[in-house]
């Protein structure tokens, strides 16, 4: 084996990954090509490390990529004449959503920042 299993979680972790790939491998590879693309590199690495058969990997990867291309080309074709109208309607709404997400994220971080010292002080006094 090329990798040292101790550096990636040990032999039992590799066995867990192999079991997961046997059960969900094809579905995970397929979905990581078009729906869950941020997970693609992780699934690629774990598939290779666990010895997932490359012909099956190639089949699910190509099927996912074909679906991705068909989906986005079809959406582009359907909505290409409506892009300007959608931009006018959703332009302000999009920035409102982005602003709301930023406010919620900052509020959550501030809440964590101000609550952390209180919880440590109460633990020390008990």
Residue 100's pLDDT is: 92
Please check the confidence at residue 101 and state whether its pLDDT lies above 90.
Answer: yes
Percent of the chain residues past pLDDT 70, beyond the cut: 84
Residues in the chain: 126
Residue 82 in tokens: 């409506």
pTM: 0.56
Which of 15, 14, 39 has the alpha carbon at shortest distance from 27?
Answer: 39
Contacts of 57-63 spanning 24+ positions with Cβ under 8 A: 57/25, 57/29, 59/26, 60/25, 60/26, 60/27, 60/29, 60/30, 60/33, 61/29, 61/30, 61/33, 63/30, 63/33
**What b/e sequence results for 39-59 when a residue is b if at least 16 CB atoms lie within 10 Å of its CB, and e otherwise?**
ebeebeebbebbebeeeebee
Please check the confidence at residue 59 and state whether its pLDDT lies above 90.
Answer: yes
Residue 92's pLDDT is: 75
Residue 75 in tokens: 């959406």
68: Cβ contacts below 8 Å, ≥ 6 apart: 33, 34
CA distance 32 to 42: 9
């Amino acid at each position: 084996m090329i990798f040292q299993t101790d550096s990636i979680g040990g032999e039992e972790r590799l066995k867990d990954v192999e079991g997961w790939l046997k059960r969900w491998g094809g579905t995970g590879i397929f979905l990581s090509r078009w729906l869950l693309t941020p997970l693609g590199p992780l699934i690629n690495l774990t598939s290779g490390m666990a010895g997932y058969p490359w012909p099956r990997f190639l089949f699910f990867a190509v099927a996912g990529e074909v679906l991705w291309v068909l989906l986005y080309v079809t959406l582009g074709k359907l909505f290409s004449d409506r892009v300007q109208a959608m931009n006018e309607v959703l332009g302000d709404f999009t920035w409102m959503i982005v602003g709301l997400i930023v406010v919620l994220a900052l509020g959550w971080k501030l809440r964590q920042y101000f609550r952390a010292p209180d919880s440590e002080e109460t633990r020390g006094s008990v």
